[in-house]
Structure 1
């Protein structure tokens, strides 16, 4: 069946009946998310081995494109914590220029996935694998921030997890208590911030003080990362703490939009970078579509179009490298913030990008004062929320194959990298699925009329279950001449080409002894395969 090209961004439907009230709600939500995105975009870029402006302009450009072209009402796109480990490894191994090429190539792959309508396939990735690599990435993000959290004097951190731990141990003598105090205060403050306002609101509600209760509601909506960033940066600057800042490490942040530049391109480079491209595309697809599903559940708005979302992600990832950006995807924290702040259409995503652009263009010098240990605290908080740590405690409730996939993917992510983890995890999932499906196929012997050998087939006769036909072959070969074999397919729900080939071998063995093979009670799928393959004529008679 030919593939029909369908490119219809969700904004085209969301703006029907759009009014001033919805615009103001989207504008307020977008401004809130833009403020939340500021520290996260810088932190993700710095942790990935890039400059802070790479993260900021990725959030602006990719966020704008994903909002305008995406398949979700409320999805917010930009740099994500899940990419930190991947990007850092690519930068360490191939360099920043090749990261740009790999990101653009991943954009092409993502667009192709959406064009070929592969968006729903992401749902078939087992949840155990998703949890395994998500927890692994969260651990790696936390490990990558120990250096700045402790204020260690290390020029460059290795990409490998265990090498990072060795490097940290070798340089622990340069521990900076000021950096440690700021990072710890940031993390603890972010953990307590929502609980503090929730407790205060309950207390004031019980005291029947509506004014103070309203103030608590407003305070609870102020993003915790912004509060931590502003207060701790002001404290460190006022008291002149001897800590490393964005300015001391990276210099000035340019206020203007980065210039459009084409990275050097060759097919040899593309072939070398195919594995990183595949990793970025796979992670981007999984992350963005999982985020869109969460947004559907939280917002109650019409369900997203996964194929349109992948095409939007593809366009965004293809464009941002030309402005020095990094990989982008849907971001759960910012998307949920958008929904809770009142966003209902992609206009909120556009407002988020514009808000962030105005902050960068007008207030970039202020970002130079931000201590890197504060950003480390924010990323510790991101890693903590990112991981589903309770799943480790609940593993006893799950079967062995679930434990194997989750723990195996987690270990491979930490020890090797995400590419190896996902590949091995999916392979293990496929093998375990094949084993489980093969166990559902069965053959039952029963007495037939006039001495016929009668067998009932149950389940799916596919490549993983063909060995279960061997006992029939053995019985035919050991039995009398001119056997009459009947296969009752009343409970055979599926047959593939390997199963058909096995039936051909059985027919050959029966004919060599001068006997006959008959199939009875065939369902539609096995019958169509048998007829199209010409096996019906070989049998002579079908039931």
Structure 2
């Protein structure tokens, strides 16, 4: 079935116990999502309510329509760098347009069953840009972490470094103390949960945010808060607004929208695969992409930013006992209730505390051990990871992914072509060839005959026998159009020189390719033999 959300299959054998678990898990995830949603939005150059509205609208739709039972959707740290750049260069209105366009792309990816193709992106590319994004997130939070006096952080790496350097003497000791204290609370709380098992369902990020907010309010500390910078959070429902879409602006947003769609697809499907391993289930990738697409189409009309599957909140959902998409829906409703009844309390949340939370998220987001273990990998793998990482940090994520994919594809082609080989038939196995040396030559070809390995056949052309050429293709697993054309050229050259060409072991995909390319029609039927032994016997008999 083309469109079949997992929620339809999630309530078989459902009971009150599972309902309670889902509701409690949803409330827990909603509490976890609150500081993260605000922090991601602020770091992206948006108002804090943008992140909450995204978690409510997009998060609810992803759970309702998705292809995973437990995945939680919403704003993600991976989008911060891209969203900030779009806001910086094109404005918030065009970000909403780009988000909706990325949703269309994601929806089409799901409709055309492209979910499995995302898995073909090499791990080296994913690690490189994930670590690069983590560095950029950490860099973007230095301003609020240290309380620096910078009006607006530039989107470009070198300009950001310059702005931080010029403002290095404006450190706010109070903001730095709140940030360090928040970070310490998160780390210590995590250690308590891990080693003592206390407060397992209460996230350290929430504890740190609440503690920092209480201290800031009681002591009236001179630091930036959500209230001083953004005027607080509105205590009302997100309302529908039509997007100012026009072709003159939309055409410039195609590239950013494609970047958002690609990153969203990668993030959501990676998250779903991690969730599968934890609950021993299997998600439907194309349904998940369609749900992500619909969520990103709808979310901008309510002032939302791009959304995708989120690993931290999904794992929290699973660890809290969530078993069906109902938990994700409850998570959205929890955030909605927070907006309606507790929004005024958010005005005293210090931005230094949110910066510390994002620093912690960025550190856990990166796979830093992979950099330590680089020496055990081959040089091409190392170059791919490092090039994608450096380009993500210094230039642009789109360029980094393009270069990384190109590098990975070239490396793959080289490796596959090096595995393909052509060897003369062993005279010890076929002693009759010794009596006809120079007249009858037999070769065995292994691997794939594709555009990167056609040189195997071209080398045979340089040393053709005088009477019969035998090619054993039994161990050829794949042949492409370039390989087929090279084989046809070799056949034509043999005809010109009046040399008999015998093909042995042509089977499966190579045989189908020979049929489709009309190669079989260009040779005589008695030139095909099932194995090398019969081919050599026929050549000697003739």
> When the two structures are superposed, what TM-score results if normalisation uses the length of structure 2?
0.94
Which residue in 2 is equivalent to 1:502? 486
Deviations 1:378-422 (A, max 9, x none): 000000100111111111111112211111110110111111111
Moved over 3 A (4+): 446-450
Contact 2:54 2:74 in 1 (8 A): yes
Contact 1:518 1:539 in 2 (8 A): no
Cα 1:453–1:198 shift into 2, 3 Å: closer
Q: How far apart are the structure 1 equivalents of 2:194 and 2:523?
A: 74
Which residue in 2 is equivalent to 1:7? 3
Q: Say yes or no: does 1:490 pair with 2:474.
A: yes
* Number of equivalent positions: 518
Which residue in 1 is equivalent to 2:221? 241
Contact 2:55 2:73 in 1 (8 A): yes
Q: Which moved more, 1:7-16 or 1:118-127?
A: 118-127
Which residue in 1 is equivalent to 2:389? 410
Which residue in 2 is equivalent to 1:207? none
Secondary structure of the 2:54 match is helix
* 1:542 alignment partner, one of 510, 518, 528: 528
Query: What 5-or-longer segments of structure 1 have no aligned partner?
Result: 202-215
Which residue in 1 is equivalent to 2:21? 25
> How far 1:259 sits from its partner (Å)?
2.2
> How far 1:534 sits from its partner (Å)?
1.4
* 2:295 alignment partner, one of 316, 324, 329: 316
Q: Say yes or no: does 1:76 pair with 2:72.
A: yes
* 1:131 alignment partner, one of 124, 127, 130: 127
Deviations 1:131-171 (A, max 9, x none): 11110000000000000011111111101122111101111
Contact 1:536 1:542 in 2 (8 A): no
Contact 2:478 2:509 in 1 (8 A): yes
Q: How far apart are the structure 2 equivalents of 1:385 and 1:83?
A: 16
Deviations 1:360-382 (A, max 9, x none): 11111111101110000000000
Matches within 5 A, 1:345-494: 345-446=324-425, 448=433, 450=436, 451-476=439-464, 480=466, 483-494=467-478
> When the two structures are superposed, what TM-score results if normalisation uses the length of structure 1?
0.93
Contact 2:232 2:346 in 1 (8 A): no
Deviations 1:5-43 (A, max 9, x none): 610000000012221111111000000000110000000
Secondary structure of the 2:186 match is helix
* 1:521 alignment partner, one of 488, 500, 505: 505
Deviations 1:490-528 (A, max 9, x none): 211111111000011111221221222221111121112
Cα 1:484–1:197 shift into 2, 3 Å: closer
Matches within 5 A, 1:42-191: 42-191=38-187
Which residue in 1 is equivalent to 2:248? 268
> How far 1:198 sits from its partner (Å)?
4.0
Q: How far apart are the structure 2 equivalents of 1:280 and 1:529?
A: 38
Deviations 1:430-456 (A, max 9, x none): 111000000111111236474212111
> How far 1:197 sits from its partner (Å)?
4.0
Deviations 1:246-292 (A, max 9, x none): 11111132111222112221223222111101110010000001101
Q: How far apart are the structure 2 equivalents of 1:126 and 1:82?
A: 18
Provide the alpha-carbon RMSD of the alignment: 1.3
Which residue in 2 is equivalent to 1:298? 278
Q: How far apart are the structure 2 equivalents of 1:387 and 1:505?
A: 51
Which residue in 1 is equivalent to 2:538? none
